[in-house]
Structure 1
Amino acid sequence: GSLINFNETDSTVVIQNPNAPSQTNNPLSRKLNKILETRLDNDKEMLEALKALSVFFTENSLRTRRNLRGDIERRSLVINEDFARIFKEVKEELESINEDVQAMSTCCEEMTNRSLIKMIKAQDNIYVFSLSHRLEVRAQVAQAFLAKFQLSHEEMATLRGARDVPITEDFFKALSRVKHIHEDVKILLRTNQQTAGLEIMEQMAVLQETSYEQLYRWAQNECRGLTQETCDISPVLTQAMEALQDRPVLYKYTLDEFGTARRCAVVRGFIDALTRGGPGGTPRPIEMHSHDPMRYVGDMLAWLHQATASEKEHLEALLKQVSLQGVEENMQEVVGHITEGVCRPLKVRIEQVIVAEPGAVLLYKLSNLLKFYHHTISSIIGTSVASLLITIEEMHILSKKMFFNSLSLHASRLMDKVELPPADLGPTASLTQTLSLLREVLASHDSSVVPLDARQADFAQVLSCILDPLLQLCTVSASNLGTADMATYMVNSLYVMKTTLALFEFTDKRLEMLEFQIEAHLDTLINEQASYVLTRAGLSYIYSCIQQHSAEQGPLSLLPSMDSSSVKAAMVQFDRYLSSPDTLVMPQLNFLLSAAIKEQIFRQSTELVCRAYGEVYTALTSPANRYKDAENLLPRSPQQVQTLLS
């Protein structure tokens, strides 16, 4: 047989066949040679095959060689069976994996579908939510629009209530809402919503007018009921006037209605106060005091003053929330209208008192009383065109006119029958009575509460009306008296006038005038007293000669009765005067009412006597008059005489 050697070192297989034919042309030989010539070191597949063959081909025998093919095939079959078995397992695993993958794929597909569905649903939800949100926002906007530009059902019902339904706080809130909507809707007119704005504005305007009309009717009805003496202004009525100020015509009509109602109440209250008195008879009816003019007129005016103040307070309560310009003028006008009804009964009664001629003093007091209440009530009403103030002013003028007429009548009666001065040269009875009247008038004037400037103006007129006739009366009365008697009488009369006026204010000018007149008559009395002393003291003739002497006549000592012995006798008589000067007082001075005036006359007349003695002393001691031993004739110097008499 053949022998196959496998050299593992050089990977060369050598097949030896000793019995092989040598013929080269034999096909088998060629194949064999080809095989033998083959280089296996570069044939990796062959090498791998031989390595695999060497694993199980361990015995190189004929049998093994013959069975090699079969072995290889069996081995190949076993390998293939193993492969098939293993591959089957792999296939089964792959099929299992495939099933899992299919299941996963199905699951993923289902999840994808569900996700897609959910995504679609989510998109739908988002759209629906977005749409819902937009609709909700629009609903909120619409709701806010309606809330801002429309009234609620309750507010509409309040404003459109029945006529007999009373006005409440809710009405004013709703009306305020209407006003605000009417103002706010102007914003819409500046946007694209002009149509809606115009419709709302028209709706609110109509609603406003109907609401104001309803409010006016209610307020008018409320005012008509305020005819009682006590007047309670409700807060709702005050609010109604505040609201109606936006409609001036309705506001004015309501005020007129209030004024008419209160006018009736005041007139009725005044008549009741005059005739019936207060509740239960307290206070008593004013007419009960008609016999006392001051109290009668004073009570009427006091009642009207209180009523006027009360009505002003009622109006202030009614209009306290009104902010219109001219509210104060409105109140003054209405108060004037309210008090107009009492003018006629007041005027008739005061005229009756004045025309009855209660006397100058009472007329003057009434005049001041009327002036005071005119001033006081005008501070409440604040206007001089009010009928009540006009009536009071007319009565004041009438009483004042009657007062001055009374004074003029009194003065004319004085001049009709002029009294002669009494023996004591004091004031006459007419003068005393007239000054008593003046004193009463001025006393009532001082105690009056008339403003200061008005009192001062009245004072001058009163003094002129009384003092001027009195001065004329005194002058006429003293016209037939002697110089000293006239001066004494006039000083006494002027003095009592002065002392009367000195007690009162605003008499300074008159006092000054009286003082000048007194001074003029005092000068007369001073000169008369000095002449009286000089005559009785023996110096009158000597002083007269000295006054009339001139140098052409020659020395004084040569004149008749101016010799030394005559002068000596006169000086002796003058010395007796110096020893008791108080004894030589003119009788008229004892009738002077004022000790101060008497003292002034005595002092100043003494000064004249001293001055006269000084001139006599100078003349007699002058050498030109040729008196011998002049020092013995005139033992006292002028300074010594002045010292003795002072």
Structure 2
Amino acid sequence: MAAPPQPRPLLVSTPSGGSTSASGSSTPVPAASRNNPISLRIYKAIGTSFDDRGSREALEIASGFYASSKAKGKAKAEDGGDEAAAPIRRTLRGQSAATARRNLKRDVEARLAGGSQHFLEAFGEVDKKLDVLREHMLEMQSRCDQVQAELDQANSGTKYLLERADGLRSQRSSAQLRTSLVTLFLARFTLTQGEERALSSREFDLGPETFKALDHVEAIRSDCRALLGGDEAKMQAGLDIMASTGVQMEAGYTKIHRWLEFQFRQMTRDAQLEVSGVMREAVRRLGQRPGMLKEVLHVLTSTRQASVLSAFLDALTRGGPKGLPRPIEIHAHEPTRYVGDMLAWVHQATATEHELLESLFGVGNRARMVGAERSVLERTEAEKMVAEALDRDLEGLGRPLKLRIEQTLKSQEGVITTYRIVNLLQFYLVTMRKTIGPDALLSKALQELYEHADAAFFETLEAQGRSLLRFLHPPDANLSPPLALRDASQVLREIIAVYDTSLVDDAEREGDFAKLLNAAVDPAVEMCERMADLRKQSSPSSGAWDRDVFLVNCLEYLQHTLEIYPFTAPRVSTLQEQVQTHIESMTFEHHGKLLEQCGLAPVMKAIRTRPADTPLSRLPGATPKELTAALTQFSSFLTNHDPLTSPRLALLSNPRLAEGIHRTALRRIATAYAEVADHVLDKNEGYEFAETLLRRGRDEVEVALGVAEL
């Protein structure tokens, strides 16, 4: 379909006489047409543009006035057949459009008038309906006034009731507030029925509910202090509450007391020694009632004392379940094992009872070194109660233990066995003191047993020492330590070995063992000295020498027995001094013998006894002839002597000691020869040709004697 031709732009007149297109562009108007109205209108119509929406709608409405018959029927159908609403003008054939345009204004106005008439009719209908509505409104207003009057009448009639209701409502609020306050007061200062049953009913077993109720009672009594500080009414309420809660609290503690008494009476066997949390809490609670706690602890200690004593007697005579372990008294023929088993059983029972009581009182193990003693000053109140209860639990063991150990000690004759029992008692005494304290009855019983055993041991040891001095005889020909000394040393060695395993501190070992060492060593030394004196009396010629040799051998034997232990050092030092005294005596005598053998004895005697104004060469024993003979004998001695040992020292049991004595004597011989040489070379001594008399020099003599310094 071909596009419609685009309309030409219309020109409109402007005040200046020109023309402007509808689109805004100006079209010049010829000057000849500017004063012609028709031309201006034509130019204006031509220059008008109908592209905007409003112009188009206006043209469409205008064209509807002059439509064809079909279009008229359609328009009439759309308008509902109302000609007034849409007045359409007929255009006769041959009638010009100018005539239609002239009637356009009138047609538009006629149509507007028809529309207005239509609106008036519609508004008339609306007005009629508004009148009906107004009548209904008046009727409703009348009814509302009637209802309001009735309401006013009812309001005036119920005003008293409303006021009464307001009063009751305020009273109800006050009552509710008081009720809530009373409820809170009762909840805070009274117990529930369940809590009362938990405190006083025997059917209600002791448990957390009882402790919770007791805490509630204590909280109530604590809060009552605020009431006791107020006015008289509050004080009276506080006093009443304190009185009622006091009864409830006493009922609770009485229930705890009875329950603990019953439970403690059941603790007769080891299988029933488990401590529950309820029992531990009950003991802690009863700690606030010292009198009640003392009563229940008395029940516990009485029960446990009888149970422990019965168990100890069963262990002694019957043994364990089904005979295992075997009865302790089966080993009564072995004193050390018998006493050790009894003490070990007591120690184990002590540990069991201690653990039970610590668990019962909730006493934890504080940081403490193993084996460290428990300080009495550092103990808490609970630990003191544990110690007291433990002391009473073990009180019954003292008497049967003492009877059996004392009987065992009386039947012993051997010093080693007795000392082993002493050491066992000392070990367990120290252990029990650290466990239950030195003031416990069992510790005191062990202390008495230890003192009794120690006295019995020293009595046996002294009897053994007296037996050493009873039958004395001269030593053997080889001057070796006698058999009695060797036996006594063996006993002493075993005693020292046992003591070395004791619990005595290293700093106290020397002083603690000194008494025992003196009691064991002094009789042996005295025996050796008496035997040496018997030897000296039997052979006066060599008795002094043999006495020193014999004593040195005996003392050396004792010294070797003791020197391997550090705590015997003081006694070893004393023995060494005695040995050194005899060695010096032997060295002096051996030197004298060697001096006679080498021929220098007469010369040295002359030197020692010479007058101050007499030359040595004129004295007897030191004349030139005698000096020459002595030096000749000395040269022969240097050739034949043994620089390492001497037959006279062969009986010493210590070869090194014999070698030292011989070497010291030879060194003194060399010194004597040097002194003789000095006097011979001295011109004042009167020796002629002195150099020829001395056949050997000093250094040569030292080398020959084997004492030269390297």
Partner SS state of residue 547, structure 1: helix
Q: RMSD in angstroms over aligned alpha carbons?
A: 2.8
Deviation at 1:561, TM superposition (A): 4.0
Please tell me whether the aligned partners of residues 606 and 621 of structure 2 are also in contact (alpha carbons under 8 angstroms).
no
Q: Does 1:221 align with 2:262?
A: yes
1:447 is aligned, of 486, 501, 508, to 501
1:397 is aligned, of 447, 451, 476, to 451
The one-letter amino acid of 2:185's match is F
Q: Does 1:188 align with 2:227?
A: yes
Please tell me whether the aligned partners of residues 229 and 269 of structure 1 are also in contact (alpha carbons under 8 angstroms).
no
Question: Identity of paired residues, percent?
Answer: 32
Deviation at 1:376, TM superposition (A): 1.0
Over 3 Å counting, the alpha-carbon distance change for 1:584 and 1:498 in structure 2 is: closer
Distance in 1 (CA, whole Å) between partners of 2:637 and 2:266 is 97
Over 3 Å counting, the alpha-carbon distance change for 1:165 and 1:274 in structure 2 is: farther
Deviation at 1:358, TM superposition (A): 3.7
Q: Which deviates the most, 520-529 or 569-578?
A: 569-578
Q: Which deviates the most, 417-426 or 610-619?
A: 417-426
| Equivalent residue, structure 2, for 1:630 | 690
Deviation at 1:245, TM superposition (A): 0.8
2:205 is aligned, of 156, 166, 174, to 166
| Equivalent residue, structure 2, for 1:524 | 585
Deviation at 1:451, TM superposition (A): 4.7
Distance in 2 (CA, whole Å) between partners of 1:476 and 1:104 is 153
The one-letter amino acid of 1:151's match is L
Deviation at 1:379, TM superposition (A): 1.8
Distance in 2 (CA, whole Å) between partners of 1:453 and 1:113 is 117
Deviation at 1:124, TM superposition (A): 6.7
Over 3 Å counting, the alpha-carbon distance change for 1:107 and 1:536 in structure 2 is: same
Q: Which deviates the most, 219-228 or 121-130?
A: 121-130
Deviation at 1:101, TM superposition (A): 8.4
Please tell me whether the aligned partners of residues 287 and 296 of structure 1 are also in contact (alpha carbons under 8 angstroms).
yes
1:334 is aligned, of 380, 389, 393, to 389
Deviation at 1:274, TM superposition (A): 0.7
Q: Does 1:154 align with 2:206?
A: no
Distance in 1 (CA, whole Å) between partners of 2:505 and 2:334 is 25
| Equivalent residue, structure 2, for 1:539 | 600
Deviation at 1:430, TM superposition (A): 1.7
**What's the TM-score, normalizing by structure 1?**
0.80
Deviation at 1:591, TM superposition (A): 1.1
Distance in 2 (CA, whole Å) between partners of 1:119 and 1:619 is 163
Q: Please, which runs of 5 or more residues in structure 2 have no aligned partner?
A: 1-134, 365-378, 537-542
Deviation at 1:108, TM superposition (A): 6.0
Deviation at 1:449, TM superposition (A): 3.7
Q: 1:53-452, aligned counterparts within 5 Å? A: 129-162=169-202, 165-192=204-231, 193-230=234-271, 231-320=273-362, 326-382=381-437, 384-452=438-506
Q: Which deviates the most, 240-249 or 99-108?
A: 99-108
Distance in 2 (CA, whole Å) between partners of 1:236 and 1:389 is 33
Please tell me whether the aligned partners of residues 413 and 460 of structure 2 are also in contact (alpha carbons under 8 angstroms).
no
Q: 1:416-495, aligned counterparts within 5 Å? A: 416-452=470-506, 455-480=509-534, 481=536, 482-495=543-556
Partner SS state of residue 283, structure 1: coil
Partner SS state of residue 506, structure 1: helix
Distance in 1 (CA, whole Å) between partners of 2:193 and 2:138 is 75
Distance in 2 (CA, whole Å) between partners of 1:565 and 1:609 is 21
| Equivalent residue, structure 2, for 1:64 | none
Deviation at 1:166, TM superposition (A): 3.1
The one-letter amino acid of 1:307's match is A
Deviation at 1:126, TM superposition (A): 6.1
Distance in 2 (CA, whole Å) between partners of 1:453 and 1:117 is 113
Distance in 2 (CA, whole Å) between partners of 1:409 and 1:100 is 143
Question: CA offsets, 1:315-359, max 9 Å, x none?
Answer: 11111179x952222211211111111222211111111000241
Deviation at 1:525, TM superposition (A): 1.2
Q: Higher relative contact order at CA 8 Å, sep ≥6: structure 1 or structure 2?
A: 1
Distance in 2 (CA, whole Å) between partners of 1:596 and 1:125 is 131
The one-letter amino acid of 1:633's match is L
Q: Does 1:577 align with 2:652?
A: no
Distance in 2 (CA, whole Å) between partners of 1:315 and 1:501 is 47
Please tell me whether the aligned partners of residues 368 and 450 of structure 1 are also in contact (alpha carbons under 8 angstroms).
no
Q: Does 1:600 align with 2:660?
A: yes
Distance in 2 (CA, whole Å) between partners of 1:140 and 1:576 is 135
Deviation at 1:417, TM superposition (A): 1.9
| Equivalent residue, structure 1, for 2:616 | 556
The one-letter amino acid of 1:187's match is A
Deviation at 1:410, TM superposition (A): 1.2
Distance in 2 (CA, whole Å) between partners of 1:473 and 1:607 is 35
Over 3 Å counting, the alpha-carbon distance change for 1:98 and 1:570 in structure 2 is: closer
Deviation at 1:130, TM superposition (A): 4.5
Please tell me whether the aligned partners of residues 610 and 619 of structure 2 are also in contact (alpha carbons under 8 angstroms).
no
| Equivalent residue, structure 2, for 1:566 | 626
Deviation at 1:104, TM superposition (A): 7.2
Over 3 Å counting, the alpha-carbon distance change for 1:108 and 1:510 in structure 2 is: same
Over 3 Å counting, the alpha-carbon distance change for 1:234 and 1:105 in structure 2 is: closer
| Equivalent residue, structure 2, for 1:620 | 680
Question: CA offsets, 1:493-535, max 9 Å, x none?
Answer: 1111111110223111111111111111111111112112111
Distance in 2 (CA, whole Å) between partners of 1:611 and 1:122 is 148
**What's the TM-score, normalizing by structure 2?**
0.73
Q: Please, which runs of 5 or more residues in structure 1 have no aligned partner?
A: 1-94
The one-letter amino acid of 1:189's match is L
Partner SS state of residue 572, structure 1: helix
Please tell me whether the aligned partners of residues 316 and 328 of structure 2 are also in contact (alpha carbons under 8 angstroms).
yes
Distance in 2 (CA, whole Å) between partners of 1:101 and 1:297 is 123
| Equivalent residue, structure 2, for 1:4 | none
Question: CA offsets, 1:258-292, max 9 Å, x none?
Answer: 11111111111111111111122221110110010
| Equivalent residue, structure 1, for 2:573 | 512
Please tell me whether the aligned partners of residues 533 and 585 of structure 1 are also in contact (alpha carbons under 8 angstroms).
no
Question: CA offsets, 1:40-68, max 9 Å, x none?
Answer: xxxxxxxxxxxxxxxxxxxxxxxxxxxxx
Distance in 2 (CA, whole Å) between partners of 1:113 and 1:622 is 174
Please tell me whether the aligned partners of residues 645 and 658 of structure 2 are also in contact (alpha carbons under 8 angstroms).
no
Distance in 2 (CA, whole Å) between partners of 1:393 and 1:504 is 27
Please tell me whether the aligned partners of residues 370 and 396 of structure 1 are also in contact (alpha carbons under 8 angstroms).
yes
Distance in 1 (CA, whole Å) between partners of 2:684 and 2:198 is 127
Distance in 2 (CA, whole Å) between partners of 1:640 and 1:117 is 163
Over 3 Å counting, the alpha-carbon distance change for 1:118 and 1:589 in structure 2 is: farther
Please tell me whether the aligned partners of residues 268 and 304 of structure 2 are also in contact (alpha carbons under 8 angstroms).
yes
The one-letter amino acid of 1:287's match is E
Q: Does 1:642 align with 2:702?
A: yes
Over 3 Å counting, the alpha-carbon distance change for 1:140 and 1:536 in structure 2 is: same
The one-letter amino acid of 1:138's match is R
Distance in 2 (CA, whole Å) between partners of 1:117 and 1:321 is 81
The one-letter amino acid of 1:338's match is D
Deviation at 1:206, TM superposition (A): 1.3
The one-letter amino acid of 1:620's match is V
